[in-house]
Amino acid sequence: MTTTESRPAGTSGAGESTTLTLIQAITLGMQGEMRRDPRVVVFGEDVGARGGVFLATAGLQQEFGEERVFDTPLSEAAIVGAAVGMAVRGLRPIAEIQFADYMGPGFDQLVSQAAKLRYRSGGQFSCPMVVRTPSGGGVKGGHHHSQSPEAYYCHTPGLKVVMPSTPYDALGLLRAAVRGADPVIYFEPKRLYRAVKGEVPTEDYIVELGRAAVRQSGTDLSLIGYGGVMPDVLKAAQALGEQGVSVEVLDLRSLVPWDREAVMASVARTGRAVLVSEAPRIGSFMTEVASSIQEDVFDSLLAPVGLVAGFDTPYPYAQDRVYLPGAGRIVNAAVQTLNYG
């Protein structure tokens, strides 16, 4: 999918632009932040000479040297723990975990150390670090390389969680994450790395964490998603539009904090909402959004809130595409919502 987008709310920047893939925007973001701030360091498994498993860090070690871009042992707990220590001592670490599925060994460092530093020090210390990690399915990675674990981290106060779906957001969110004062988990939908292209300003800009983007305005139904599902959400909106349905498409971009105001405004306007996420349904972040819609704009609803999600099974290798929501499942849920009552 090639996406050309206007500059959404919660952003800044204007002037000349260039066309980038999502992964090129991420690489450019790290390169730019390292040039801007000598405290920024990048490390992880094979991120140096190799350039990372998906080549997101390609060329960085050659430009910035082995002291600022370096390989680590095969130990996610050590990677995250080192990032916490560096952040406390004044650096701005960007740690790469090769796949989101592998964040488990570093979980304790994230939820017990990084997330708690500001609170337990009474505000004396913060933990300005970014953990980048490819997540989600669609690349035949099987059950150890395709999971969407964002809900674990959304559940932990003290962590911020983002997931871009466009090159513009990938670059702007990464800059905002690196320049912020708190730990950010930066999930990268890897099936979009080279499948999505978009216009990105050549001048400096950021995308503020906590601001959703309206990808398409409409009046009959709100389709709300984030990350890797967004191309299918847009395909579903197009298919519904060809049937005469006016669909509003909202891309959350940031899960913690999330743009509750934008979601409620959209649902209050359309009266119907279908939420889309590829994470397993039970305990997914979208169940929090559904609950909040019920609390805040219940009187505006013309139908129950729909939810299209992954299945509550281990991620299947053989049924990779079946597992993901897909435009067909989204359209079916939308039609059910539109025909309610």
Catalytic residues: 145
Q: Cis bond leading into 257, ω under 30°?
A: yes
Distances (CA, A) of 137 to 27, 156, 240, 330, 331: 21, 24, 25, 17, 20
Q: Rounded distance, CA 223 to CA 305, Å?
A: 10
Residues sharing a CB contact under 8 Å with residue 43, sequence separation 6 or more, in sequence order: 69, 70, 71, 72, 79, 82, 83, 93, 94, 95, 96
Beta bridge partners of 207: 11
Q: What is the dihedral of CA 75, 152, 223, 20, to 10 degrees?
A: -20
Residue 248 CA to its chain's centroid (Å): 20
Compute the residue count for the chain.
341
Residues sharing a CB contact under 8 Å with residue 334, sequence separation 6 or more, in sequence order: 221, 223, 236, 240, 245, 247, 274, 306
Cβ atoms of 153 and 159 within 8 Å: the answer is yes
Smallest CA-to-CA distance from 189 within 301, 25, 18, 340 is with: 25
Note the helical H segments in the chain. 22-36, 60-64, 76-88, 107-108, 117-120, 150-154, 167-179, 230-242, 260-270, 285-296, 320-323, 326-338
Q: Rounded distance, CA 110 to CA 116, Å?
A: 9
Tokens of 13: 């920047």
